[in-house]
Amino acid sequence: MDLGLQQRVYVLTGATRGLGLASARALVADGARVVVSGRSKESVASAVESLGGAGHAHGVVADNADPDTAGRLVAAAQERFGRLDGVLISVGGPAAGPVAKVGDEVWRTAFESVFLGALRIARTAAEVLGEGGAIAFVLSASVREPIGGLGVSNGLRPGLAMAAKSLADELGPRGIRVVGLLPARIDTDRVRELDAMSGDADAARARSSAAIPLGRYGTPEEFGRVAAFLLSPAASYLTGVMLPVDGGALRGL
């Protein structure tokens, strides 16, 4: 299938590793050009190189929580590649811990990056996107059901998903789509860290795999292909959806 990505330009935040980098690779492989952001100069430079260099990718050192980041990313796409067709908004997972024990400052910090920073980028992109543009949020299976030990994620991500649904209603008349992706046990550094917190990473992985109908963790590449499709013109009649990428782990419809 031709996804229609040739010469299209996408901004991807938190895309120097894991799900964001895998999504950037899928987009570039189908002919798109990308602007990727991360919080260190070294990681950004490495990501750009792995994506084929300056002809395919441009890097920006940025933190989603910084109020200037949204404008800088949109400007980078327009200045480097002359257009913007969509954004994939991803942030690192917030600190682990139960709701009863996580302090106010942890909640405030997570809100600035996970929630407010993500919405700021979406709003800023929406100002310049034209018909056919796409905004995708990388959320979590915690949108649908809580994940043990991740109280902050359980609290913030469902609200962000509802804001994304509202944004889909608001931008739909302009032909701009808004979607969310709900990864669960994808084999990333973040998930491996969460498994290790149990005290026995191998046992935790085995338990989680047993609860997944496909019987295994997903790969970042599998997630990246789904993200590339949702951002592409091939998904032109999909908006307002929250799509699990979880091997069937979520039990509800």
Does 211 fall in a domain? Answer: no
Does 247 fall in a domain? Answer: no
The backbone region for 143, taken as left when phi is positive above 0, alpha when psi lies in -120 to 50, beta otherwise, is alpha
CATH classification of the domain holding 182: 3.40.50.720
Does 253 fall in a domain? Answer: no
**Which helix or strand (DSSP H or E) is residue 183 part of?**
strand 177-183
Does 201 fall in a domain? Answer: no
Question: Taking the CA of residue 163 as centre, how many other CA atoms within 13 Å lie in the half-sphere pointing to its CB?
Answer: 18
Does 87 fall in a domain? Answer: yes
Query: Based on C-alpha coordinates, what's the Rg of the chain?
Result: 17
Q: Which domain holds residue 117?
A: 9-186+221-241
Determine contact, residues 33/228, Cβ cutoff 8 Å.
no
| Number of structural domains found in the chain | 1
pTM of the model: 0.95
Does 209 fall in a domain? Answer: no
Does 249 fall in a domain? Answer: no
Closest CA to 248 of 153, 166, 184: 184
Question: At 30, is the secondary structure helix, strand, or coil?
Answer: coil
Q: Going residue by residue through the chain (253 aa), what tens digit of pLDDT does each one get?
A: 899 999 999 999 999 999 999 999 999 999 999 999 999 999 999 999 999 999 999 999 999 999 999 999 999 999 999 999 999 999 778 888 999 999 999 999 999 999 999 999 999 999 999 999 999 999 999 999 998 889 999 999 999 999 999 999 999 999 999 999 999 999 998 899 888 988 999 998 999 999 999 999 999 999 999 999 999 999 999 999 999 999 999 988 7
Does 19 fall in a domain? Answer: yes
